[in-house]
Structure formats: C-alpha cells, structure tokens
Structure 1
C-alpha cells in the first residue's frame, strides 16, 4: 500500500512538472504570436536591425545578432568549460587521494551555488580590465563573457563528471589493479569512454544553463546589437530581454517581440537537447 501511494505521488509530481513546463511554453508562445502580425518571421529571425522605439520614422525587430551572440558565447563557454571541467574531474578521480577529494568536492559544489551576479562583478573587476590592458577598447567583448560563463558552468561539470568517473573506477578498480594498469591509463582507455553518456548529459544541462544565463553575460559582453566577433561587443537574447522588458509598454509590438525572442531561446535549447539525444542514439546504435 505504501509503495503504491509513493508511486502515485511520484507520478503526480512528474505530471505537475510537465504541466508547468507546458504552461510556460504555451504562455510565452501566446504572448509572442502578435509580433508576427506586424513583423514577418524571416525578418524577425534573419535581420539584425533592432529599433523598438520609433525614433527614425519606423521600427524594426530583427534578432539575428542576438541569436548569434547567444550561440557564440555559449559554444565558447562550453568549449573552455569542457576542457577544464573534464581535466579537473580526471584529476579528482584518478590522482587525488581520498582526503584531497573529500576536501575539494564540497568546495566545487559550493562554487556552483555562487550567484551569477557575483561572477559578473568578478568579470567587471578582473576580466574586462585584463582585456583593456591587452588592447580591447572597453574590455567588454564576447571572449570575456565566454570566460566568465565558463567559470560559472565548470563547477557543475566537475561535480557531474567526477561522480561518473568514480563510479567507473569503483566498478573496474579491482580488475585494473590486478592487470597493473596505471590510474591515468585506466582513465583514458576505460573511465572516460565508459562515462561518455554521463558526460554528454552534463554538457546538455550545462548548455541550457549557458544559453539562458543573463546577469553575468550582460555585465561583461558589452550589450551592443552587433554581430559577435571574438574581441568585439555583442548581446545575447537573455540580456536583451532583461535590459528591455522593464521599459517595454505592455501590449506593444516591442513587448510581444521580447516574448518572441524568449520563445526563440526556448526553441534553441530544445534543438540542442534534440540534437544531443539523436547523437547519443546514433552512438549507442553504432556501438552495438
């Protein structure tokens, strides 16, 4: 009886989570639809002109630069975070002894809980001055935002990948020790290949976090409607919404266009998840 009640509660909670997600997506979609009564979908997605207020005799709503900025910052951050995160997790799993691991893992988890605005302040005080000294005019650029964002998602990757590598180590430790295999050789040839599913899922979650991050990116990217270049300014979709939603008149095209931009962000995150799911399925079939 207790098991049946527990199962019913779990199913109810799962259904509520799905219903909440569906409600959010539906609400954003309904608020976004009025945009396309005045702006064509192609202009909205492919144009880089964003002028929500009629200063020059016409308004324009094109988010191509914001989409490009979101993808550029997120992909760069994932690239940096993957290299550092998997490397740190490999050290914790293969080289660190039990006491060092027990001391460092709680610190990693604590770092993962630091508010994003704190990372933004560090970016303003440390990262952007370094870029100014390197010759970037204001120090704010896409690369600076990617570095700050990478620092935010590294703790999550380290925690997830370390747990997966430790699980593989516990599973095969006796056999590898009996064969005289070194820890690093075991990790490179067995641990990481056997943990690729967990690493891939951690990257998916990190990608969702990176694409939706607002404050830290907004504080160091420069917030300019420009096509992103490595040392140039840019702006992400999340930063656009955070900067302009408070000044957009409710019911205006500007207001609905910001919801449409949010819907595009949701679709991008969903596409990333679908692509990784398809890749994982293909790899599983290829390994059979």
Structure 2
C-alpha cells in the first residue's frame, strides 16, 4: 500500500512539473509573439504615416529618383535610388558568393578528409564572427583603393559594396550548403558509384542536383543577410542618394540612408516618417526572403 502511495505521489509531482513547464513555455512563446507583433505594428504604422498623414504618393515613393524629404516647399521622397542600390549589391554579392560556396562545401563534405574539415570549419566560423565594422574598415582601406585603381572612378560604389558583402555572406551560404550536402542520403553516392560513375560525375549529376533546394535556401539566406547589412556597406558605397549610372559611381542603400539619417530627424516629422517607410520596405523584403526559404524547403524535402 505504501509503495502504491509513493508511486502516485511521484506521478503527481511529475504531472505538476509538466504543467509548470508547459505554462513557462507558453508564457515565453507569448512574449516573443507580442514583441514581434509590437515591432511589426510600430514599423508599419510609422512607415505608412508618410502616405496617410503627410499625403505623399506611394507611386512617387517607389518611382521617383530624388530623395530630399526636408526640401521646402515641396518635399521629395523618391526611394528608387536606394532600392536599386540595395538590390544591386544583394544580387551581385549572392551571385559572386554562390560558386565559391558550392566549391568550398563540396570540398569539405565529399573530397577533404576529417583533417581538411577540421581546418576549414574554424576558418568559416571565424569569418562569421568578425564584426561588420571590421569588414567595413578593410573595405575602406583595401577594397576601395583596389576598385579605384583597377576599375576607375572614386572607388566608392556598388562594386566595392559587392566585394565586401561577398566576403560577409560567403560563410553563411557555405555553412548552410554544407548542411544540405550532408543531408543527401549516402545511398545516392553509393548507387552512382556502383553504376560506374566517377566521383566527379557523382558530385555533379547526383549530389549537386539532389541538394539544389538546399543551395537555393542558402543563397536566399545570404541575400537576406546582404540586404539588411548597414555599417559595412555604408563605409564603401559612397552614400549618394542618386540613381547609380554604373557599378563604380557612388550610390546608397536603404540601410545606409537609414543609419546616416535617423539621428538627424525629429520624431513625427516627414523626414523621420520617410525613413520609417524605408524601414518598412526592409521589413517586407525580410518577410519575402523568409517565405521563399520556407517554400523551397517544403518543395525540396527528401
């Protein structure tokens, strides 16, 4: 009888602990949801104030090329130069990083032995941990003079920003693609080799094709990182709010204009609301990147 009571008491304590754990988990999840919703509401309300309170045209915001929200008597809030600059450095850096990331990931997973992976993995992790200001300083002292000497111009522009972001997104894309290659079933490799394919044929025709969804996901994550980068790009792109005519002319991005202008505006005024509108564009693009990665992940699951 005593043994039965002890067992019932033990189960009762375990049940109470489970309930407390569920309540704590629910409280944490609720808090996170409230924080996210608060951020979404704050950015959306302030970003839309430019169009509803200050009566600026949404079409002009996305199509006009002049950015001067403090102009009198008529403010100008054409965000097209910053949007073009952000997409230019993002797409170019992702395209430049993709082949290097593919080659590095394949070497780590299917070619190098354990010793090679032990050497390369810390290097990639080190690149991830370097602060953005360090990348920006190196870009300012090395990349900008290199671009000026080789390609002409002032050295500041989309091309310099692309080179800096290429180094910044490379470890992200590489790490994610390594995980994707490791997820390819081993019997794919064994079956290909058993049919007489060489190692390079197996890598090119089997492994890479099987891991294409993971590669696309890695590239999109890299683009999301590049699209939201502020400090490093700000230091090398030139910060000129004009539509770039080429890759070596000074330009600007959404993040560079935000970081340079947000401290010089008064809350509630048109210049401040216009910057919040740029932040809303950044937020929407982040949501698009996340939706794309989820869509690709569902379509490409093994």
- TM-score of the superposed pair, with normalisation by structure 2: 0.84
> Which residue of structure 2 aligns with residue 230 of structure 1?
247
Match for residue 197 of structure 1 among 213, 216, 230:
213
Moved over 6 A (4+): 2-5
The C-alpha deviation readout for 1:104-129, integer Å capped at 9, x for no partner, is 11221121111111111111111110
The C-alpha deviation readout for 1:160-202, integer Å capped at 9, x for no partner, is 1112213326454544554554433222122222222222222
Decide which structure has the larger Cα Rg and report it.
2
d(CA) in 2 for partners of 1:135, 1:70: 21
Please tell me whether residue 261 in structure 1 is matched to residue 278 in structure 2.
yes
The C-alpha deviation readout for 1:38-72, integer Å capped at 9, x for no partner, is 21111112111111223x54321111111111111
**Superposed, which structure 2 residues align to 1:89-168 within 5 Å?**
89-168=105-184
Shift of 1:210: 0.9
Cα RMSD between the aligned structures? 2.6
Please tell me whether residue 51 in structure 1 is matched to residue 68 in structure 2.
yes
Secondary structure of residue in 2 paired with 1:103: helix
d(CA) in 2 for partners of 1:97, 1:167: 18
**Contact in 2 for aligned 1:95/1:183 (Cα 8 Å):** no
Please tell me whether residue 61 in structure 1 is matched to residue 77 in structure 2.
yes
> Which residue of structure 1 aligns with residue 59 of structure 2?
42
The C-alpha deviation readout for 1:241-277, integer Å capped at 9, x for no partner, is 0000011112211011101110011112323444555
Residues 15 and 245 (structure 1 numbering): CA distance in 2 closer, same or farther, change over 3 Å?
same
Shift of 1:279: 5.8
Residues 117 and 154 (structure 1 numbering): CA distance in 2 closer, same or farther, change over 3 Å?
same
Please tell me whether residue 19 in structure 1 is matched to residue 34 in structure 2.
yes
**Contact in 2 for aligned 1:142/1:221 (Cα 8 Å):** yes
**Contact in 1 for aligned 2:238/2:252 (Cα 8 Å):** yes
Which consecutive unaligned segments of at least 5 residues does structure 2 have?
1-14
**Contact in 2 for aligned 1:109/1:156 (Cα 8 Å):** no
Higher mean C-alpha displacement, 166-175 vs 207-216: 166-175
d(CA) in 2 for partners of 1:175, 1:275: 32
Shift of 1:79: 0.6
